[in-house]
Amino acid sequence: MDPIKILTANIDKPNSTSIDVYLEGGGYEAARQALQMARDDVIQLVKDSELRGRGGAGFPTGTKWGFVPKNAPRPTYLLCNADEAEPGTFKDRVIIEKDPHLLIEGMIIAAWAVGSNPMAYIYIRGEFHYGSTVLNKAVAEAQARGFLGRNIFGSGFDFDITVHRGAGAYICGEETGLIESLEGHRGEPRVKPPFPAVVGVFGGPTVVQNVETLACVPFIVSKGAEWFKSFGTPRNTGPKLYCVSGRVKRPGVYEFPMGVNLKELIYDHCGGITGNRQLKAVIPGGASAPMLRPEEIDLPLNFDALMKAGSMLGSAGIIVLDETVCIVDAVWRLSKFFAHESCGQCTPCREGTNWLESILDRIERGEGRPQDADLLLDMSDNIGGKSLCALGDAAIGPVISSVQKFRDEYLHHVSHKSCLPGTTRYRRLDMPVAAH
């Protein structure tokens, strides 16, 4: 499969963030067109395109828009989730930093379709300071042209965007955590139902969409649902950004029609494994996704195929681990991340993620017990599905899959009190570890 340039069409142009460059490429025509359509027709078009959310869950976007009640007592809000914090994921950053007007145009169309109030928010993670300055500049440019503000494009529709910076919390990428955070609270996810489409931010119906999802929308409006569906396979349609990192020769963001083969992506497009070593494991969809063994990677990277393989496409953050990586150490690092980022609301996740980290650390240090591998599975069973949001479920993904698929390596640590020969531990064990 050959790479394509749709979502990334502008990123290599000089001065790609400027509105003039964006307009030269036909920018904002789709927004103009959408504002002349009936709202329901825009929603139907997005439904027909079979676009699924690119943030991780893969929920059909048009269906989500259709959930927004027509005559809610409070204003409807559109929020863009630019809190890209899933380890291994860096696709939204490319759009934010290189083609911000594509995102703004997508937001205008989405806002029109769902009947948004005149203010929408881009919730960008605090660490993307440069990205937020690019977005602020782009918003100001769009305001100056009358594309944002009152009566945009002379349509009578008032719509503006505020860039809201987060402050370093992975959980704010969860949609109700994001909503809480935007309201000025600790980013602790809410009980669902009510779902955000009914009661979300500031008490109004709320649609939260990922950056890449919104970036797809202008193309659906300008080129049609059939064109969009010509990429990928039924139910897994459209162009898709894949992020590849870890032990590959050419890491980066790659755009393909949805469903590029994982093996082909790693070996042909990314040049194979660093140092021509053997592959050990691939995490196909960000840190939360269960890992795959080398014999499992001959599959298309789309929502359904990965789910069938027992993993998930998630945010399409592909982390490649070669034969020299100690699996226990790698999983420890991911568990440390989840323990750090657990918001602390639900006991199974708050306590469980810390215990997973501690047990993995003790195995790595050669202090593991023979029953530890099973203990990890047992504890995971007491975390998964037992908390308000999906962070607990995400935390157990790498643990369960690695114990099931690399049990030998776990047992080796226990019996030999050391890593498997030929694998590396990347950290010094005497370094103090910061408290969560």
Partner 1 sequence: MADLHPDNPYQKDRFPDPSKKVEFRPEAKERFEWILTRYPTREAALLPTLHLAQEEWGWISPETVHYVGSLLGLSPATVFGVVSFYNMYNQKPVGKYHLQVCTNLSCMVTRAYDIYEHLCDKLGVEPGQTTRDGRFTVGEVECLGSCDTAPVVQVNHDYHENMSLEKMDELLTKLK
**By CB under 8 A, residue 28 contacts partner 1:** no
- Contacting residue, 40, 41, 183, 367, with partner 1 by CB under 8 A: 183
CB of residue 421 to partner 1, shortest distance in Å = 18
- Contacting residue, 59, 67, 227, 426, with partner 1 by CB under 8 A: 426
Which residues, numbered 245-274, are part of the site for partner 1 (CB under 8 A)? 245-247, 251-253
**By CB under 8 A, residue 196 contacts partner 1:** no
**By CB under 8 A, residue 330 contacts partner 1:** yes
CB of residue 337 to partner 1, shortest distance in Å = 6
CB of residue 81 to partner 1, shortest distance in Å = 13
Residue 193 preceded by cis peptide, ω within 30: yes
- Contacting residue, 22, 28, 90, 228, with partner 1 by CB under 8 A: 90
Percent of the chain that is helix, strand, coil (3-state, to 5)? 45, 15, 40
**By CB under 8 A, residue 435 contacts partner 1:** yes
**By CB under 8 A, residue 202 contacts partner 1:** yes
- Nearer Cβ to partner 1, position 86 or 175? 86
CB-based contacts of 408: which residues, under 8 Å, 6+ apart? Answer: none
CB of residue 391 to partner 1, shortest distance in Å = 13
**By CB under 8 A, residue 98 contacts partner 1:** no
φ/ψ of 383, rounded to 5, equals -105, -45
CB of residue 132 to partner 1, shortest distance in Å = 10
Q: Which burial class, exposed, middle or buried, applies to 75 when counting CB atoms under 10 A from its CB (0-12, 13-18, 19+)?
A: middle
Q: Given the rule CB under 8 A, which of 58-66, 103-111, 178-186, 362-370 is the region that contacts partner 1? A: 178-186
Which residues, numbered 297-326, are part of the site for partner 1 (CB under 8 A)? 317, 319, 321-322, 325
- Nearer Cβ to partner 1, position 32 or 413? 413
Which residues, numbered 362-421, are part of the site for partner 1 (CB under 8 A)? none
- Nearer Cβ to partner 1, position 45 or 124? 124
The secondary structure of 5-57 as a DSSP string is: -STTSSTTSTTTTSHHHHHHTTTTHHHHHHHTS-HHHHHHHHHHHT-B-TTTT
The secondary structure of 268-315 as a DSSP string is: IIS-SBGGG--EEEEE-SSTTSPPB-GGG--SB-SHHHHHHTTS--TT
Return d(Cα 321, Cα 342) in angstroms, integer: 25
- Nearer Cβ to partner 1, position 228 or 254? 254
Residue 332 near residue 368, CB atoms below 8 Å: no
The secondary structure of 152-166 as a DSSP string is: GGGSS--BEEEEEE-
**By CB under 8 A, residue 192 contacts partner 1:** no
Directed axis angle between helix 391-405 and helix 347-364, to 10°? Answer: 30
Q: Given the rule CB under 8 A, which of 84-92, 256-264, 365-373, 381-389 is the region that contacts partner 1? A: 84-92
**By CB under 8 A, residue 86 contacts partner 1:** yes
- Nearer Cβ to partner 1, position 233 or 274? 274
Which residues, numbered 103-142, are part of the site for partner 1 (CB under 8 A)? 119, 125-130
The two structure tokens encoding residue 348: 């199974």
Torsion of CA 296, 302, 306, 311, to 10 degrees: 110
CB of residue 12 to partner 1, shortest distance in Å = 16
**By CB under 8 A, residue 176 contacts partner 1:** no
> Given strand 119-124, what is the order of strands in its sheet?
160-165, 119-124, 77-82, 206-210
Residue 42 near residue 109, CB atoms below 8 Å: yes
CB of residue 282 to partner 1, shortest distance in Å = 12
Return d(Cα 258, Cα 230) in angstroms, integer: 10
- Contacting residue, 3, 26, 40, 162, with partner 1 by CB under 8 A: 162
φ/ψ of 79, rounded to 5, equals -120, 135
Query: Which neighbouring-strand residues pair with 365?
Result: none
φ/ψ of 370, rounded to 5, equals -55, -30
**By CB under 8 A, residue 1 contacts partner 1:** no
Can you give the binding site for partner 1, defined by CB under 8 A? 84-90, 92-93, 119, 125-130, 162, 164-170, 181-187, 202, 243-247, 251-253, 283, 287, 317, 319, 321-322, 325, 329-330, 333-334, 337, 340-341, 343, 426-428, 431-435
